[in-house]
A = this chain, B = another copy of it.
């Protein structure tokens, strides 16, 4: 993989600004990756619940109206957490978050996509808004929807992890990768919304192991400024 910077430049690049939100799962992924790599940054809160991401001021910064949006050196923001995880990996090679072999990278990226493409997008605020207003779903129907998709995602991932000899102490072998980062975010959603989810012993053991690492634990939504107390 090509890297634009060397380890020496990491300190200089500590001035990332990232527009985020305490509860954002996508921001969580980025927080963990940057912590694992020891890269400092500034997180600027955007009030998603108040719709600040759709304000003219924010849309002028990022036409997509989404967090996280990573800004450096006054350049246009870079967006989308999977793209940003790859960017962080390329820019800061220390403590690799992707395996060294192409098939391993494909497997890790596929797990990241199982979460970030097939599960998480179904329960984000804009979908909840459409479901509870345009479709008229009540709270119970929305919670059933969320539990269904998070549960389906976790069960599928459990099956995938259990079936593969490539699964180790973590989702892929014995090193933390972006697969663990994305999977742990899905489990965090279950905790935040107190969803009734299926038993997934293989996945749960891996995620418990992740949470022993301060990079994961300190990135938790509940630990961010703005999160409700208790």
Asked if A12 is at the interface (CB within 8 A of a chain B CB), the reply is no
CB distance from A7 to the nearest CB of B (A): 15
User: Could you tell me the distance between the alpha carbons of A121 and B121 in the complex, rounded to whole angstroms?
Assistant: 7
Interface size of A as a range: 35 or more
B-binding residues in A (CB < 8 A):
1-4, 59, 63-66, 75-76, 78-84, 86-87, 90-91, 100-103, 105-107, 109-110, 112-114, 116-118, 120-122, 126-127, 130, 134-135, 137, 141, 144-145, 148, 152, 156, 159-160, 162-164
Q: Which residues of B contact A83 (CB under 8 A)?
A: 106-107, 109-110, 112-113
Please, which residue of chain B has its CB at the minimum distance from the CB of A163?
B63
Cα–Cα, bound, A127→B118 (Å):
10
A103 cross-chain contacts in B, Cβ below 8 A = 75, 78, 87
Q: What is the CA–CA distance of A121 and B79 in the complex, to the nearest angstrom?
A: 18
Q: How far is the CA of A142 from the CA of B103 in the complex (A)?
A: 38
Cβ of A219 to closest chain B Cβ, rounded Å: 20
Whether A102 and B109, one on each chain, are in contact in the complex, defined by CB atoms closer than 8 angstroms, is no
Given known contacts A80-B113, A82-B113, A114-B64, is B102 in contact with A4 (CB within 8 Å)?
A: yes
Tell me whether B159 and A63 are in contact (CB under 8 A).
Answer: yes
Report which of B2, B78, B141 forms a contact with A135, defined as CB distance below 8 A: B141
